[in-house]
């Protein structure tokens, strides 16, 4: 039987170390909402979302109360809008209409983000894909809860450099139209089908009608556990992280199963991640510091992060029946006080962050760059990150936020969970001629596994 | 049978157990097990309870226990047992 020490350990994790279930995300397929009439399409989308996810928030709140574990976010992911809107949306304006309807539906059911204003263009773009991508700046400026993502490459297909070039301009335009806009826009390589973490969440076309996906997190819990290993060898350090990740993930599995049962929606995956928040102590950078680095970004950071990421996965995999999404350690800058401190101290540069993305769960995330950074430079940074993903067969992403009117060292504010970030310096050497080349980078040799 | 874990943590004082147990008895909640210890000078108690016969919904019991805790200066949590089972047992 459970003893008092085990109960106290769990409650201490929740109360003092910020253990939480980061999100319950309901994936909803909108494929059968397709129509050739934009008004009919919007009405069907609204009905489908509000009917399917009507109880999501209240069920989440009930589970939270009964188990005593905070469930921070309740969210929705949908089929990529470029697919479902292809028949009805004749231009960018029609896509913006869909975005506004999605925002209304998300508000109606009370979720705090809806992801899936997305296009999958790793090998080429349809005219609908192009229109959706062009509509992103307006769509994100005229909505609050809608998140957008574009998958521009994969190990199997290579990198669509036309889309990469476009995304540089789109990110720049988005930042000019809205300060928080770029924080809701992710560019992916090797995007997974079912990813409950915003801003890159969308519901894959390979999924069923609906699914419940859960994202767990607990950097504070891991940091506290690592703190107890001061001076210990790597074996003990790794074992500690693994055991902690196991415990954290088990909570996610429990919540996912319970939510799936109560909502009568199939259980999809648990995304076992260390995702920081701006709250003090809820930081991935602090874990690296606890391992023995003065700041995240110091020499040794990539090795420490690689080990952390791997142990989190090893511990978590056994704790859940289905693991997926972006599982691993996230290293966003604005959402992590330890990362912010490291940038301010001059210990963390965008180049070191890029190196760290080779071994972290995703990529360059929530990084504020100078407002006068050129579109081709943004595309160049995207291309580099996509190449890392393509060659290493891993998901990588870019969420860069050009800070309008701000220069290196100034703070850009995004508010709430999105946090704040010091503007980081970007290499000023030009890549324009390279980026302006048309076409795509072919898939790497090791993609031919047939 | 769905079991509930009730934890009480705070500064030790006269009548904590009496107060909590009286509330549970009045609401037809059966106590299956009690363990108590002092951690870092703080009173720490755990009860395993069976709420199946209680006429009140879980949410009401949880919030009323929290209120009783506030009155006597301790923190009372009421959680379903599964969260602890999941985390500590394979």
Residues 12-71 of B with CB under 8 A from A: 33, 35-37, 39, 44-46, 48, 58-59, 62
What residue has token string 């992916």?
A: A188
What was the pLDDT predicted at A327?
A: 84
Does a structural domain hold residue A227?
yes
Which pLDDT score, from 0 to 100, does residue A373 have? 97
Three-state secondary-structure class, residue A50: helix
DSSP secondary structure letters along A237-268: HHHHHHHHHHHHHHHHHHHHHHHHHHHT--EE
**Residue ranges covered by each domain of chain B:** 3-88
Amino acid B12: pLDDT:
86
Q: Which residue of A has its CA nearest to B8?
A: A8
Supply the pTM of this predicted model: 0.92
Interchain proximity B39–A8, CB inside 8 Å: yes
* Beta carbons of B87 and A6 less than 8 Å apart: yes
In whole angstroms, what is the distance from residue A271 CA to residue A312 CA? 11
- Determine the pLDDT at residue A208: 94
pLDDT tens figures, B5-59: 999 999 988 889 999 999 999 999 999 999 988 877 788 999 999 999 999 999 9
Give yes or no: residues A298 and A433 share one domain: yes
pLDDT of A450 > 70? The answer is yes
Verify that A280 and A425 share a domain, yes or no. yes
Within 8 A of A62 by CB-CB distance, chain B residues are 59
pLDDT tens per residue, range A178-236: 999 999 999 999 999 888 888 999 999 999 999 999 998 889 999 999 999 999 999 99
Find, among A312, A293, A346, the residue nearest to A243 by Cα: A312
Q: Dmax of chain A from CA atoms? A: 67
Question: What was the pLDDT predicted at B1?
Answer: 64
Helix or strand (DSSP H, E) at A422: strand A420-422
Question: Which of B37, B78, B86 is nearest residue A4 as measured by Cβ atoms?
Answer: B37
User: From the CA of A275, how many Å to the nearest CA of chain B?
Assistant: 20
A290 and A401: one domain? yes
Q: Which of A1, A69, A250 sits opposite B33 (nearest CB)?
A: A1
Residue A231 sits in the same domain as residue A121: no
**Opening angle at CA A195, ends A189 and A201, nearest 5:** 80
CA distances A384 to A123, A150, A354, A389, Å, are: 17, 16, 9, 9
| pLDDT tops 70 at residue A34 | yes
d(CA A334, CA A428): 22
Q: What is the mean pLDDT of residues A169-178?
A: 97
Position A63 pLDDT exceeds 70: yes
A7 located within any domain: no
Residues A409 and A274 in one domain: yes
Enumerate residues 239 to 268 of chain A having a beta carbon within 8 A of any beta carbon in chain B.
Answer: 247, 250-251, 253-254
- Domain at B3-88, CATH homologous superfamily: ACT domain (3.30.70.260)
Same domain, A223 and A176: no
Task: Indicate whether A11 belongs to any domain.
Answer: no
What confidence score (pLDDT) does residue B75 get? 93
Please check whether residues A273 and A306 belong to one and the same domain.
yes
Residue to mutate among A8, A11, A70, A261, with most B CBs inside 10 A, is: A11
CATH of residue A46's domain is 3.20.70.20
- What pLDDT sits at residue A415? 85
State the total domains in chain A: 2
* Contact assessment for residue A419 and residue A278, using Cβ atoms and an 8 Å cutoff: yes
CB nearest B83 (choices: A1, A4, A254): A254
Distance CA A421, CA A409 (A): 9
What does the pLDDT look like over A110-138, one tens digit per residue?
A: 999 999 999 999 999 999 999 999 999 99
Percent residues over pLDDT 70 in chain A = 100
Identify the weakest region by mean pLDDT among A71-85, A118-132, A321-335: A321-335
Give the number of other CB atoms < 10 A from CB of residue B52: 12
Q: Does residue A232 sit in the same domain as residue A174?
A: no
Per-residue confidence (pLDDT) for residue B45, from 0 to 100: 93
Peptide bond into A199 cis (omega under 30): yes
Of A437, A405, A409, the residue nearest A423 (C-alpha): A409
Say what angle helices A92-109 and A127-141 make with each other, to 10 degrees: 50
Q: Find which of A8, A14, A68, A315 to mutate to test the B interface (most B CBs within 10 Å of its CB).
A: A68
B88–A66 CB contact, under 8 Å: no
Q: Is residue A63 domain-shared with residue A156, that is, in the same domain? A: yes
Same domain, A281 and A179: no
Domain that holds residue A322: 213-245+269-369+377-444
Query: Do A26 and A73 share a domain, yes or no?
Result: yes
Mean pLDDT across the stretch A312-316? 92
Residue A196, pLDDT score:
81
- What pLDDT is attached to residue A449? 82
Q: What is the mean pLDDT of chain A?
A: 94
Let me know if A358 is exposed, middle or buried by CB neighbors in 10 A (0-12, 13-18, 19+): middle
């Amino acid at each position: 039987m459970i003893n008092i020490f085990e109960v106290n350990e769990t409650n201490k994790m929740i109360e003092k170390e910020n253990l939480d279930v980061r999100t319950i995300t309901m994936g909803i397929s909108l494929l059968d909402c397709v129509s050739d009439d934009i008004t009919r399409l919007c009405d069907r989308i609204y009905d489908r979302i509000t009917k399917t996810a009507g109880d999501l928030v209240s069920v989440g709140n009930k589970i939270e109360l009964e188990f005593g574990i905070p469930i921070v976010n309740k969210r929705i992911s949908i089929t990529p809008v470029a697919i479902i809107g292809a028949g009805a949306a004749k231009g960018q304006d029609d896509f913006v209409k869909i975005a506004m309807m999605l925002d209304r539906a998300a508000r109606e059911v009370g979720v705090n983000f809806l992801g899936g204003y997305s296009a999958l263009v790793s090998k080429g773009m349809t005219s609908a894909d192009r229109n959706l991508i062009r509509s992103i700046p307006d769509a994100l400026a005229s909505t609050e809860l809608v998140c957008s993502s574009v998958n521009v490459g994969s190990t199997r297909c290579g990198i669509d450099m036309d889309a990469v070039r476009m995304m540089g301009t789109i990110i720049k335009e988005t930042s000019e139209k809205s300060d928080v806009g770029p924080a809701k826009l992710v560019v992916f390589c090797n995007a997974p089908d079912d990813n409950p973490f915003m801003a890159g969440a969308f519901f894959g076309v390979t999924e069923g009608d609906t699914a419940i996906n859960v994202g767990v997190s607990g950097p504070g819990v891991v940091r506290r556990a690592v703190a107890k290993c001061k001076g210990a060898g790597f074996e003990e350090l790794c074992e500690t992280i693994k055991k902690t990740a196991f415990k954290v993930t088990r909570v996610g599995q429990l919540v996912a199963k319970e939510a799936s049962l109560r909502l009568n929606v199939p259980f999809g995956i648990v995304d076992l991640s260390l995702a920081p928040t701006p709250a003090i102590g809820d930081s991935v950078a602090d874990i690296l510091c606890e391992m023995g680095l003065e700041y995240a970004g110091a020499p040794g950071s990539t090795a420490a992060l690689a080990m952390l990421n791997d142990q989190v996965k090893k511990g978590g995999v056994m704790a859940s029946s289905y693991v997926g999404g972006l599982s691993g350690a996230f290293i966003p800058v604005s959402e992590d006080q330890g990362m912010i401190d490291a940038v301010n101290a001059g210990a963390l540069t965008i180049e070191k962050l890029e190196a760290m993305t080779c071994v972290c769960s995703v990529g360059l995330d929530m990084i504020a760059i100078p407002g006068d950074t050129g579109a081709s430079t943004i595309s160049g940074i995207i291309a580099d990150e996509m190449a890392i993903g393509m060659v290493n067969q891993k998901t990588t992403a870019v969420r860069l936020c050009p800070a309008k009117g701000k220069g290196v060292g100034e703070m850009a504010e995004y508010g709430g969970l999105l946090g704040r970030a010091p503007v980081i310096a970007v290499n000023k050497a030009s890549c324009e001629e390279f980026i302006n080349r048309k076409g795509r980078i072919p898939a790497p040799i090791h993609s031919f596994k047939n | 049978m769905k079991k509930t874990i009730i934890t009480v943590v705070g500064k030790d004082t006269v009548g904590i157990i009496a107060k909590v147990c009286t509330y549970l008895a009045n609401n037809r909640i059966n106590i299956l097990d009690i363990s108590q210890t002092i951690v870092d000078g703080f009173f720490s108690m755990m009860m395993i309870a069976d709420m199946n016969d209680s006429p009140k919904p879980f949410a009401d019991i949880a919030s009323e226990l929290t209120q009783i805790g506030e009155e006597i200066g301790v923190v009372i949590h009421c959680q379903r047992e599964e969260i602890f089972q999941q985390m500590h047992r394979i």
